[in-house]
């Protein structure tokens, strides 16, 4: 474990504050923050796949509910679900101090985007796949 990373309780609290979601099963969140090589194979990447799909579902559902056109929804997907946007949001919220990685390597944009997707996947699974209970992914950004 990286000595620069704070204790798990502090990490969990930081992520819960940043997402506005309190985990019922914190293991989901902690697994989402473990980069390749720090945990069992596929943990974070599998959660990131779930998170990417959940984010897209949420954005499409929200757009549909607001009566947005397909073009507007596609535009929201291109911007809000992009790796660069997700990485920016993760760094803005200080997730880089929470990501477990080997040897204290700096968190890259790709690593951060994957971590954010994985956290979104963790939230989605923890709330029993209820997109209406999940926090809206960064509504103001």
The domains of the chain are located at: 8-126
Record the pTM: 0.84
CATH number of 8-126: 1.10.1520.10
Is residue 135 very low, low, confident or very high in pLDDT (cuts 50, 70, 90)? low
Backbone angles phi, psi at 57, to 5 degrees: -60, -45
pLDDT in tens, 91-134: 999 998 888 877 778 899 999 999 999 999 999 999 988 877 65
pLDDT in tens, 29-53: 989 998 876 655 566 899 999 999 9
Single out the residue of 25, 28, 31 nearest to residue 43, CA to CA.
31
pLDDT in tens, 69-79: 999 999 999 99
């Amino acid at each position: 474990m990286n000595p620069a990373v704070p204790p798990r309780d502090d990490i969990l609290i930081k992520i819960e504050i940043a997402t506005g979601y309190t985990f019922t099963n914190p293991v989901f969140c902690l697994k989402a923050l473990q980069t390749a090589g720090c945990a069992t194979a596929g943990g974070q990447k599998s959660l990131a796949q779930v998170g990417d799909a959940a984010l897209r579902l949420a954005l499409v559902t929200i757009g549909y509910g607001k009566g947005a056109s397909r073009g507007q929804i596609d535009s929201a997907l291109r911007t809000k679900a992009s790796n660069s946007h997700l990485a920016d949001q993760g760094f803005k919220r200080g997730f880089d101090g929470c990501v477990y990685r080997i040897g204290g390597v700096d968190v890259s944009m790709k690593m951060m985007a994957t971590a954010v997707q994985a956290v979104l996947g963790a939230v989605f699974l923890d709330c029993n796949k209820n997109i209406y209970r999940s926090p809206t992914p960064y509504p103001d950004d």
